[in-house]
Each structure stands twice: as C-alpha cells, then as structure tokens.
Amino acid sequence: MKIFIRRRLVYIFIDLILVLLSFVLVVLIKAGSLKTYFPKYLYSFLIFLAIWLITSWFLRKYFFRDYDQFKHAFKPILISNFVILGTISLLMYFLRSAYYSRAIVFGTIALATGFELFWGLTYHFIRVARINENPTDQEYMALQSQKLNGNGYNDESNSKEKILLSDRLQNIIIDECGKQALEFFQKTNIFPDNEILLLSTTNLINIQTQTEDYHKSIINLKRVNDIRYLGKFFEAANENLPMNGTFSCCVETKDLRKQRLFKKYPFLLNYFYYYLVDFPIKRVFPKFKITSGIYFFLTRGQNRVITRAETLGRLISCGFEVQNEEYINNLCYITVKKIQDPSYDPDPSYGPMVRLKRIGRNGKSIKVYKMRTMYPYAEYLQDYIYKHHSLKDGGKFENDFRVSTQGKIMRKFWIDELPMLGNLIKGDLKIVGVRPLSKHYFNLYSKELQEKRTQWKPGLVPPYYSDLPKTLEEIQYSEMRYLEAYEKKPFKTDWKYFWKAVYNIIFKKARSQ
C-alpha cells in the first residue's frame, strides 16, 4: 500500500512540474515577462491546477497498469486533458473574464499534454524493458547457487582439502569486512598464510612491487570501485600469481549502489539525486571522451559505478576464471583463478558505439559496428554465460545480465543495428544473409555449416526473420536451407527471404530478443 501511494505521489509531482513548466513557457512566449503577468493570474492558475489534479485523479491518469500497449499509457492522458479543456472552457464562458487570455489557457493545456505524452512514451519504454528485465544480481546468484554447487564452486564436500586462515589473518579480515566476508574467503582459500598476500589497497604500486609467483593467493579487502586504474590492477594481480593461483576482491555493483542511495536520501530527493546527478556524472560522463576528463577531475576515479558484468568481464579479460560469487553486506565478493595471461587489450570497448569482432566471408575477421546494448567488457563473458545459462527461443541466452535496460529498448526497435549500415557500405555485409557471429557462437555450429557460412558475406536481415526458428538446431537448419538455395539462385532467394522477413516483422511482430 505504501509503494502504491508513493508511486501516485511521484506521478502527481512530475505532472505538476510539467503543467507549471508549460504555463511559464506559454506566458513567456505570449507576454515576454512573468513579473507583471504571473501575479495577475496566480489565483486563477491555482484553481486551474486544482481542476487539473482532481480531474486527472478521478479519470485515473496516475494509475498505470498495463505497459505492453501504448493505449494504456496514453488513453487516460488524452481523456483527462480533454475533460479539463471542456471544464475550463465552460468556466471561461460563464465567468466571461475579459482579461483572461484564451491563448495562455489553451496553450498551457496543449503544451502540458505534449509533455505528458512524451513522458508517458519514455516511461512506457522503460517499463517494457524492466518487465522483461533480468533478475537483480542477488536474485541471479540465488538462481545459480545450485548450478554453482554442481560445478564445485561452493561445494562444502571439499572443505577437508582447505586450510583455514590463521587467527591473525582472521582478525584482520573481521575488523575490515566482518565475519561473513571471512567465511567467504575461507571457502575459497586453500593456501597457508605464508602463500597469501592480504591487501587493503587501491594503489596499483602496492601490487606491482610484489615478487612474481611468490604468493599463490591475493586477497584485496578494498572495493574495486575506488581503484583508478582498474584494468592494470587486475593485470598486475595476474602477473604476480602462478597458474591456478587465486585472486579475491569485492565490488559494489550498480544495482547495489542504487539500493544504497535510495535508502540514504529521503523520498523524492533520492530520485532527483540518482537520475539527475549521480547517473549522468558517474555513468554517462565516463563513456564520452569529451566528458571523461570532467568525470576524472570530479571523482579522481574513485567511487566509480561499475556493473557486475563489467567487473567479471574485466577479470576474465585479465586471464582469470570465475570461481565463486557471494553478496555480503551490500558488496559482491568474487574469487577468480588464473588460467592464462591477460589479453592486454589496447583499445577496450567502453563508449556508446562498439566494434564487435565477427566471422565474415572466407573466415576473415570483420568488425561490425553497433550501438552498445551490453555493459562494458561484457563481450568477454560469452563463454561464462554459455556455461551458466541455457539458450531460449531464438538462440539467445536466458537471464542475460550483460544487457542494459537501454540496450533492451534499442534491441526491440533495432536502433542498435543502424550503424551496421556502415558495414553494408564498406562491403563487409549484404542486405540479406546469415547473421555475423562471434567466434564463440560460431564454434557452436556444425563444421559443415561453418564451412558453408564462410563462403558468402553475412547479412543485415538473417533468415531467422523468415523461418522464425526457436532452438539452436532449428537456427542451423534454417541457415543451411537458405545457403543452399542462395547457391543456386542468389537474387531470387534474397528477394524471397527479404519480403517474407518484412511480413513477419510487421504482421507477426517477429523480434530477435
């Protein structure tokens, strides 16, 4: 009940802001000044606001329920505002006020309606994305706990092989992080004290100056959010460990950060702070070269917002394999094992535009341009996701936490694929053809289909939209049938598949989710 009331109050507050903004803009456009005009209309405007709120409430403008269809978001707005227009028009007619400007009244209603429709459209897209959004980090870990146990990550049966930390190290960890964190480290630690490097640092030099291969386990008690050169820090940890050595750290993920801020600040202020201050500075600024300097000047790289996907992706890119994850005291604790040297990617993908490596014609690696729909470094999680997630209809992964909320919206309307027109112009792709695949996904296909695929250019419109296969096997069969037909009659085949795909997209609402 409290959540219900709070939502209604938020909607009413936003609506009041939109109406007030509309009134001010219309007055400025018509009269050019608020100083002499606003006092004259103050009481009339308050009556107008009362009529606006009462009508909107009784006609359920603030009671959104079904977000799957536009009409459920827009219909109450249009009906309420039409009734408001009629009510105000009748009052003006009967009162016959000579000084009250019809242009300001009708202009305010029209502009406020436009603002409301725009806000409703934006809110609709966000809600559609969130309805199908992946579980939160904690919910995902609960869903995966049984699977992780099956792989031996949290297997208590292996406890006999593990050496408990000494009292000295236990007391240090308890003082810094608490007993639950100590229990986490004891589950994953299998080395004696003299082989463990226990740190509580954000300074890169404290790990770079260690003797290589001297320690078999590194535990850092400080949040990775406060490490300026995070990639280099993880690389240094890898370089200092022998093969199969372990590295443990903790992170406040984006979801955990949002929960903390919403609890820290009072209601309404928390929304304004998070969406108007924290999100733009901490999430948007670092992604653009023109604003990244401002971000580092203000934050010095500390208290950064980092997602679970980016943290795991960075660790995997630095040569580690994820062994265990656990949520303790609003932090995500992670233990990884060294399995190879770091990739030392000189140009990691971080901005809104990405260039993804894909298998092209003759097996040549091409870079496909797309708008970012996944969190940074998510491309390194392909194998990890495949091991812990099953494929859903259409060949995509279930509960793929790598995809952002904005990414879901862009994927739904193909906004993310618009930059691929550049690949079409360059000649890397053709209009109709098999989808350009990553190396990992390409290796899931049969050898016969791999050879057949690389004989031709990939395409923007894949045969998936024509046949609508559900499983990986059906996708392979669909692509093989297309390629065999294309070999015989290229133009006729592409023409047929293109128009069938268009029909399925428009009338059958075909989407590649």
Interior angle at CA 39, CA 38 and CA 41, nearest 5: 65
Beta bridge partners of 500: none
**What sign results for the dihedral spanned by CA atoms 96, 101, 104, 106?**
positive
Spatial CB neighbours of 317, under 8 Å, sequence gap ≥ 6: 231, 342, 343, 345, 348, 377, 380
Q: Please tell me the number of Cα atoms within 13 Å of 472 on its side-chain side.
A: 13
Confidence of residue 156 (pLDDT cuts 50, 70, 90): very low
Where does 343-434 have alpha helices with state H?
Answer: 382-388, 405-412, 420-426
At residue 138, does pLDDT exceed 60?
no
307-327 mean pLDDT: 93
Beta bridge partners of 353: 371
Report d(CA 409, CA 129) in Å as an integer: 6
- Three-state DSSP class for 406? helix
Q: Give the whole-number percent of the chain exceeding pLDDT 70.
A: 81
Burial class (CB in 10 A: 0-12, 13-18, 19+), 386: middle
Domain boundaries, the chain: 2-131, 137-253+306-338, 256-298, 353-507
At residue 155, does pLDDT exceed 50?
no
Please report the pLDDT score of residue 281 as a whole number. 83
Lowest-confidence pick of 12-16, 124-128, 219-223, 416-420:
124-128
Confidence of residue 290 (pLDDT cuts 50, 70, 90): confident
Report d(CA 163, CA 305) in Å as an integer: 35
Lowest-confidence pick of 36-50, 75-89, 146-160, 203-217:
146-160
Residue of 203, 237, 405, 395 whose CA lies nearest to 315: 237
Largest CA distance in the chain: 91
Report d(CA 412, CA 125) in Å as an integer: 10
In the predicted model, what is the mean pLDDT of the chain? 81
Asked whether the beta carbons of 217 and 191 are under 8 A apart, the reply is yes
Report d(CA 79, CA 120) in Å as an integer: 14
- Three-state DSSP class for 459? strand
The full DSSP string for 271-297 is: HHHIIIIIHIIIIIGGGSHHHHHHHHH
What HEC string does 410-445 produce? Answer: HHHCCHHHCCHHHHHHHCCCEEECCCCECHHHHCCC
Residue of 394, 407, 427 whose CA lies nearest to 513: 394
Please report the pLDDT score of residue 511 as a whole number. 65
395-407 mean pLDDT: 75
- CATH fold of 137-253+306-338: Rossmann fold (3.40.50)
Please report the pLDDT score of residue 199 as a whole number. 93
Report d(CA 419, CA 470) in Å as an integer: 27
Q: Could you tell me the pTM of the whole model? A: 0.64
Cα Rg of the chain (Å, integer): 28
